[in-house]
């Protein structure tokens, strides 16, 4: 079906916008990944009826037009290619962006709401969704749920999956269903339903029961994970909760059109201790001592990131404003002399404590300082909120700093989100660096030190085939290294086009077969976001790596 014909047929029943112009298609060919996939058209549904009608249309025409599909998008900040595809892109951010009930029991929200707007509303009631990612200023709720996002507060508060109470989903039959946690009695009612929903419950329940031990054992033994389908969290023989499958599914099982999320109290005060570190060998012991003090956040960025931040400090004017950027420069001025003489520290660690009582924070920081004074590190207290925010801006904006300011090379997020238990870091990191150096790859490191979750961002010239050819080789080596240390190849960012091909190797043939069955149960025609999860094809992905930026 030609693009014009497809657009014409959709406009018959669609109330929102349907765009096919070259400027729009070019914009929606990219997210923040290293891929480029041009869609046939982009639609902006006005309401849930539009989405239902669109899915129904694709279902009816799929056999005649096998390439038809729908891919959800809101913020477009996905680093894996999860928000791009070659058929219909459905952007929820323009119209499906309402916040409903908001109180201490939680919040009802549509997928197109940007987190920055969402947080302003929740903070009015001194509440927060603590699983926000580093891209908090530009990402949306739909992506946070679809990727099972985590971030700087995950160490204490967990991931998005821990806060999803209910989901309204549009499934492959074009109907809306509501999913939440059920006890066994409520589950039995669902199992008796003689309809599509009942069939889903029966088939997923059968998978969970017949493969109970295999499924539970398959859950990665790390603090967070965004790979596969979270089938191990669905059924514990007391409660059954299908929302766990949709969280982190990257829009491959259906479209979320509304979510009820739990919130936590936003503490009134915080304190930040900065630790400058040069000796990576002390990391496991240092991390262990820091974690004993139970910080709310424990983050890190490397010397490459700090150098870039200092070099491109004027760019922070767009985030901090003119005066804020000046204050940031003055704050780091005393350190510049030290850096010039002794060099930039290998790692900058950020340890944050939060409380409604500032005295409690002061005591915890003092206790931490005392407990790590025997280590060869330098500590610095960010005494003002503005000083602490400057460090957080560097940490949160590290990826954007690279993406927007480094000329002739571009960010290549393909080993950007692995996680291993922190105890293995002293062995793991030298092996990782050796792989990168052997292939002559420049990179930056940032991440969540307390979880052992790191974001390695290589810088590469995609115009050179020799550079692009490094990607599958290096990714294979790093993924295998992560699995050797019993980690996960993605803690927060999901697989998208970059890691889906590796699912079978990570989980084994039996679990991969279960993942494929889950996809088939919900989406037998492969309507939703193809080329991801169990439908991933490494050849397809390699053919869509960008050559120009």
Picking from 304, 484, 498, the residue whose alpha carbon sits closest to that of residue 415 is 498
Q: Is the pLDDT of residue 305 over 90?
A: no
Chain Cα centroid distance, residue 323: 32
Domain 1-146+164-262+509-549 carries which CATH code?
Answer: 3.30.465.10
Can you give the length of the chain in residues? 549
Q: Is the pLDDT of residue 329 over 60?
A: no
pLDDT score for 445: 84
Q: Is the pLDDT of residue 322 over 60?
A: no
Domain 269-484 carries which CATH code?
Answer: 3.40.462.10
Q: Which two tokens stand for residue 429?
A: 């990191």
Q: Which has the minimum average pLDDT: 83-97, 276-290, 374-388, 401-415?
A: 401-415
Q: What is the share, in percent, of the chain residues with pLDDT greater than 70?
A: 90
Q: Is the pLDDT of residue 331 over 60?
A: no
Q: Is the pLDDT of residue 362 over 80?
A: yes
Looking at every residue in the chain, the average pLDDT score rounds to: 90
Q: State how beta strands 41-44 and 88-91 pair.
A: parallel
pLDDT score for 549: 66
C-beta atoms surrounding 342 within 10 Å: 11
Q: Is the pLDDT of residue 403 over 70?
A: no
pLDDT score for 548: 75
Beta bridge partners of 271: 353
Three-state DSSP class for residue 130: coil
Q: For residue 537, what are the contacts with CB-CB under 8 A and spacing of at least 6?
A: 501, 531
Picking from 297, 271, 221, 257, the residue whose alpha carbon sits closest to that of residue 483 is 221
Q: Looking at residue 430, what DSSP letter applies? A: H
Q: Is the pLDDT of residue 398 over 80?
A: no
Indicate the pTM of the whole model: 0.91
Three-class secondary structure assignment of 115-129: HHHHHHHHHCCCEEC
Structure-model confidence comparison of residues 176 and 411, the more confident one: 176
**pLDDT, tens only, 441-489:** 988 888 888 889 999 988 888 888 998 999 999 999 999 999 999 999 9
pLDDT score for 358: 92
C-beta atoms surrounding 526 within 10 Å: 18
Structure-model confidence comparison of residues 309 and 259, the more confident one: 259
Three-state DSSP class for residue 545: strand
CA dihedral 118, 128, 403, 20 (to 10 degrees): -30
For the chain, where do the domains classified as CATH 3.30.465.10 start and end? Answer: 1-146+164-262+509-549
Q: For residue 409, what are the contacts with CB-CB under 8 A and spacing of at least 6?
A: 442, 459, 460, 461
C-beta atoms surrounding 207 within 10 Å: 19
Q: Is the pLDDT of residue 499 over 80?
A: yes
pLDDT score for 448: 87
Chain Cα centroid distance, residue 173: 28
Average pLDDT for 426-439: 91
> How many whole angstroms separate alpha carbon 29 and alpha carbon 276?
40
> How many whole angstroms separate alpha carbon 497 and alpha carbon 270?
38
Beta bridge partners of 240: 182, 235
């Amino acid at each position: 079906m030609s693009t014009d014909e497809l657009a014409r047929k959709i406009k018959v029943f669609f109330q929102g916008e349907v765009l096919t112009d070259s400027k729009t298609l070019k914009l929606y060919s990219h997210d923040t990944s290293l891929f480029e996939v041009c869609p046939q058209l982009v639609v902006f549904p006005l309401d849930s009826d539009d989405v239902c009608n669109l899915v129904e249309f694709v279902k009816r025409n799929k056999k005649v037009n096998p390439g038809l599909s729908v891919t959800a998008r809101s913020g477009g900040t996905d680093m894996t290619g999860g928000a791009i595809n070659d058929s219909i892109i459905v952007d929820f951010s323009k119209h499906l962006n309402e916040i409903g009930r908001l109180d201490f029991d939680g919040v009802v929200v549509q997928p197109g709401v940007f987190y920055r707007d969402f947080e302003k509303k929740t903070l009015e009631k001194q509440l927060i969704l603590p699983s926000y990612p580093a891209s908090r200023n530009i990402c949306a709720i739909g992506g946070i749920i679809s990727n099972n996002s985590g971030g700087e507060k995950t160490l204490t508060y967990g991931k998005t999956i821990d806060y999803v109470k209910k989901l309204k989903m549009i499934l492959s039959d074009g109907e809306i269903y509501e999913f939440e946690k059920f006890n066994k009695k409520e589950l039995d009612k669902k199992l008796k339903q003689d309809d599509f929903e009942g069939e889903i419950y029966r088939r997923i329940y059968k998978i969970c029961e017949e493969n109970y031990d295999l499924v539970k054992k398959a859950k990665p033994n790390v603090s967070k994970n965004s790979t596969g389908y979270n089938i191990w969290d669905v059924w514990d023989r007391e409660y059954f909760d299908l929302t766990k499958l949709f969280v982190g599914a990257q829009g491959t099982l259906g479209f979320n059109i509304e979510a009820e999320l739990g919130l936590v109290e936003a503490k009134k005060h915080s304190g930040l201790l900065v630790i400058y570190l040069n000796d990576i060998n002390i990391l496991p012991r240092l991390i262990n001592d820091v974690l004993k003090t139970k910080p709310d956040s424990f983050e890190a960025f490397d010397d490459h990131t700090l150098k870039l931040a200092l070099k491109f400090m004027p760019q922070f004017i767009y985030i901090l404003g003119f005066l804020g950027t000046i204050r940031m420069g003055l704050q780091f001025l005393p350190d510049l002399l030290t850096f010039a003489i002794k060099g930039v520290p290998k790692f900058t660690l950020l340890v944050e404590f939060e409380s409604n009582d500032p005295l409690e924070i002061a005591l915890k920081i003092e206790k931490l300082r005392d407990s790590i004074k025997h280590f060869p590190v330098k500590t610095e207290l960010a005494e003002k909120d503005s000083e602490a925010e400057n460090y957080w801006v560097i940490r949160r904006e590290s990826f954007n700093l690279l993406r927007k300011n480094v000329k002739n090379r571009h960010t290549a997020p393909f080993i950007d989100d692995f996680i291993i238990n922190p105890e293995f870091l002293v062995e793991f990191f030298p092996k990782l660096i050796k792989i990168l150096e052997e292939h002559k790859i420049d990179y930056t490191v940032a991440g969540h030190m307390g979880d052992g979750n790191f974001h390695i961002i290589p810088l590469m010239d995609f115009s050179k085939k020799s550079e692009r050819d490094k990607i599958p080789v290096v990714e294979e080596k790093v993924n295998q290294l992560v699995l050797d240390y019993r980690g996960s190849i993605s803690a927060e960012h999901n697989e998208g086009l970059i890691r889906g091909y590796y699912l079978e190797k990570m989980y084994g043939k039996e679990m991969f077969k279960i993942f494929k069955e889950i996809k088939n149960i919900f989406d037998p025609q492969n309507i939703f976001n193809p080329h991801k999860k169990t439908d991933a094809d490494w050849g397809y992905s390699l053919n869509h790596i960008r050559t120009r930026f």
